[in-house]
C-alpha cells in the first residue's frame, strides 16, 4: 500500500510537495474582496489583465530553482496544471471577468493528516483555482487508498458576503490599523470563507488568522469539522492588510516560532505558547524596503520560509538578515533565488503545499 498524503505541521521532514506555476497568471479585476488588499498608492490599482510574459517566464525560472533544491534533497515535487486564467467565470451567484493563477498553492490546499482539502476562498477570481490541482488529487486518490480528497463547503460569494464600499474613501494606514484592531474586515459572516494559508497546523492545534481572507464563521466551521482538534482564532493588530499567517507567525521547529515584529501576537494569545515553553522570537528585518513590482504582498515575505526538517530551512537568497538569524537559531540555511516569483502570490512557503511529511499528529500544547 502506498502512502502518498500525510502532513500534520510545517516542520517535520518534508518528502513530497506541490510547487505552483506562474503560467497564464492574471492581475485580477477589482472585486469586493480584492480591492481591499491593493494599497491605494499601489501601481496595481485599477489595472488588470494577463501579467507580462517576461515576468511569467522569470517567475517560473525562480520556481524551477526551488524545484531543483527540493529534488536534489530527495523531495518528490508535483506541479499543478494551469488553466487559461484570463477567462471570465460565472456561477448562479456572481460573474467575474477573470480568474487569477495557480500560484500560490498554499492559499488553496490545506493538508491535515491524510486529507487535502480545497479551501473556501473569499476572492471570486479564485473560485475555480482548485481545478489546477485536481489532476494531482485524482492521482493521489488512485494511488493512496487512505487519501481523503475533500472540498470545503463552497461559499456562494454573493454581494451579501462582503461589506461594500468598505475602504471606498481614501482610508489612511492608521484607520486601517484601527479596523484590524477592531477585527472589522471586508468579509461578512453569512458563510464560512477562508484561505488555507491562514491556517497554521501544529499537530492537534490549528491556529487560524482572522483577517481579510478568513472570517469568524470559518473558525466555527473548522471546530465542527475537526471536533478532536483545538481551533484557535489569532489576530495580529499591527497588520493593516491581514492576509495569511505565513509572513507573520512562522514555526521553525517544535518550541520555536518567529513573529513579525510589526505584527506581534497579542499578550493574551501568547499565553498558550508560553505555558508550553515555546519561544516566540522577533523575525529579522527584511533586506528590502519595497516588494518587487506588481506584487500584492509585503516585504515580510522575507520570513516566508520553507522548513524541510527541524534543522533545515530554505530562505530567499537575497534575504540575508533572515538567513543570518536562522543560522543563529541553529538552522542549516539553504538560499533560493525566488524573489521574482513573489508577484505571483508569495514566497517559499506560499509557493508550495505539503503532500507528505514524516511524523504523527502530536499534542504540542497539552
Question: Which residues form the catalytic set?
Answer: 195, 244, 350
Omega before residue 281 within 30° of 0, cis: no
Which lies closer to ligand ABU via its Cβ, residue 192 or residue 211?
Answer: 211
Q: Least Å distance between CB 260 and ligand ABU?
A: 8
**Is 147 one of the binding residues for ligand ABU (CB under 6 A)?**
no
Among the listed ranges 73-81, 158-166, 215-223, 293-301, the one in contact with ligand ABU (CB under 6 A) is 293-301
- CB atoms < 10 A from the CB of 181, how many? 13
Q: What is the DSSP letter of 362?
A: -
- Dihedral sign computed on CA atoms, order 152, 156, 157, 162: negative
**Is 298 one of the binding residues for ligand ABU (CB under 6 A)?**
yes
3-class DSSP assignment, residue 9: strand
Q: Least Å distance between CB 246 and ligand ABU?
A: 6
The answer to whether 303 touches 247, Cβ cutoff 8 Å, is yes
What are the cell numbers at 58?
522569470
Residues 187-216 that bind ligand ABU (CB under 6 A): 197
The answer to whether 315 touches 335, Cβ cutoff 8 Å, is yes
- CB atoms < 10 A from the CB of 8, how many? 21
Q: For ligand ABU, what does the binding mask look like between residues 299 and 338, x meaning CB under 6 A?
A: -x--------------------------------------
Altogether, the residues listed in the chain come to a count of: 366
Q: For ligand ABU, what does the binding mask look like between residues 249 and 288, x meaning CB under 6 A?
A: ----------------------------------------
Dist. CA 50–CA 328, nearest whole Å: 42
**Is 244 one of the binding residues for ligand ABU (CB under 6 A)?**
yes
**Is 125 one of the binding residues for ligand ABU (CB under 6 A)?**
no
Binding site for ligand ABU (CB under 6 A): 197, 243-244, 246-247, 297-298, 300, 346, 350
Amino acid at each position: 500500500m502506498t502512502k502518498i498524503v500525510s502532513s500534520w505541521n510545517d516542520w517535520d521532514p518534508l518528502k513530497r510537495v506541490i510547487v505552483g506555476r506562474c503560467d497564464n497568471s492574471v492581475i485580477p479585476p477589482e472585486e469586493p474582496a480584492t480591492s481591499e488588499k491593493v494599497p491605494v498608492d499601489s501601481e496595481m490599482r485599477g489595472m488588470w489583465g494577463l501579467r507580462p510574459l517576461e515576468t511569467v517566464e522569470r517567475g517560473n525560472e525562480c520556481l524551477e530553482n526551488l524545484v531543483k533544491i527540493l529534488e536534489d534533497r530527495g523531495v518528490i515535487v508535483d506541479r499543478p496544471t494551469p488553466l487559461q486564467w484570463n477567462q471570465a467565470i460565472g456561477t448562479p451567484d456572481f460573474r467575474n471577468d477573470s480568474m487569477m493563477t495557480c500560484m500560490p498553492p498554499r492559499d488553496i490546499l490545506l493538508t491535515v493528516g491524510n486529507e487535502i482539502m480545497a479551501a473556501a476562498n473569499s476572492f471570486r477570481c479564485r473560485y475555480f483555482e482548485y481545478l489546477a490541482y485536481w489532476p494531482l488529487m485524482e492521482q493521489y486518490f488512485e494511488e493512496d487508498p487512505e487519501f481523503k480528497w475533500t472540498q470545503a463547503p463552497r461559499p456562494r460569494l454573493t454581494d451579501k458576503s462582503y461589506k461594500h464600499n468598505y475602504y471606498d474613501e481614501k482610508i489612511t494606514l492608521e484607520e486601517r490599523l484601527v479596523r484590524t484592531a477592531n477585527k472589522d474586515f471586508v468579509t461578512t459572516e453569512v458563510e464560512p470563507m477562508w484561505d488555507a494559508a491562514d491556517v497554521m497546523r501544529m499537530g492537534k492545534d490549528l491556529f487560524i488568522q482572522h483577517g481579510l481572507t478568513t472570517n469568524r464563521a470559518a473558525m466555527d466551521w473548522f471546530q465542527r469539522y475537526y471536533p478532536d482538534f483545538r481551533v484557535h482564532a489569532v489576530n495580529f493588530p499591527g497588520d493593516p492588510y491581514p492576509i495569511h499567517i505565513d509572513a507573520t507567525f512562522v514555526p521553525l521547529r517544535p518550541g520555536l516560532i518567529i513573529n513579525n515584529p510589526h505584527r506581534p501576537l497579542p499578550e493574551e494569545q501568547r499565553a498558550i505558547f508560553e505555558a508550553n515553553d515555546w519561544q516566540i522570537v522577533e523575525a529579522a528585518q527584511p533586506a528590502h524596503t519595497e516588494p518587487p513590482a506588481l506584487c500584492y504582498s509585503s516585504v515580510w515575505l522575507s520570513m516566508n520560509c520553507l522548513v524541510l526538517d527541524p534543522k533545515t530551512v530554505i530562505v530567499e537568497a537575497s534575504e540575508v538578515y533572515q538567513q543570518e538569524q536562522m543560522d543563529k537559531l541553529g538552522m542549516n540555511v539553504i538560499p533560493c533565488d525566488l524573489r521574482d516569483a513573489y508577484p505571483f502570490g508569495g514566497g517559499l512557503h506560499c509557493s508550495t503545499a505539503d503532500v507528505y511529511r514524516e511524523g504523527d499528529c502530536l499534542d504540542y500544547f497539552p
